[in-house]
Amino acid sequence: MPGMFSKSEESTMSTSHESSHTVIGTTVHIEGTLKSDEDVVIAGSLNGTVTTSKNISIHAGAKIDGDVHAHDVLVSGQVTGDITAAGTATLTKTARVTGDVVASNIAIEHGAQLKGQMTTQSAQ
């Protein structure tokens, strides 16, 4: 059985501490409420809420069914839920958002799709 103590595992695993970011990779799915005090990167899928006091990056191909709360939010994937950013919410050209976006600043690239309301408000 592969493990960090054997040399024979076939894996791209790196067990060294490279980052304190939470990363939801493309091969996992999350159900529930994910809370963090660090940056969160989402390349996989999540059904639930994700909250951090720092920043969230949602990669192209990622799917979130639920709300997103962060300081800055960068969306390149699919979000079905509300996005709340104390700082800036950015929707890139591959973003597909169904829900409301509330942020101090909102930036939308040509090609991004949003079905919902946009509200800019002062940082809380």
| Least distance CB 56 / other proteins (angstroms) | 14
Q: Are strands 96-98 and 63-65 parallel, antiparallel or unpaired?
A: unpaired
Which of helix, strand or coil describes residue 123? coil
Of all helices (H) and strands (E), which one includes residue 103? strand 101-108
| Closest to 25 (Cα-Cα) out of 40, 5, 10 | 40
- Per CB under 8 A, the list member of 8, 27, 122, 124 interacting with other proteins is 27
- Per CB under 8 A, the list member of 7, 8, 12, 122 interacting with other proteins is 12
Which of helix, strand or coil describes residue 85? strand
| Least distance CB 50 / other proteins (angstroms) | 9
- Per CB under 8 A, the list member of 5, 8, 122, 124 interacting with other proteins is 5
- Name the site residues for other proteins (rule: CB under 8 A): 1-6, 9-17, 19-36, 38, 43-44, 48
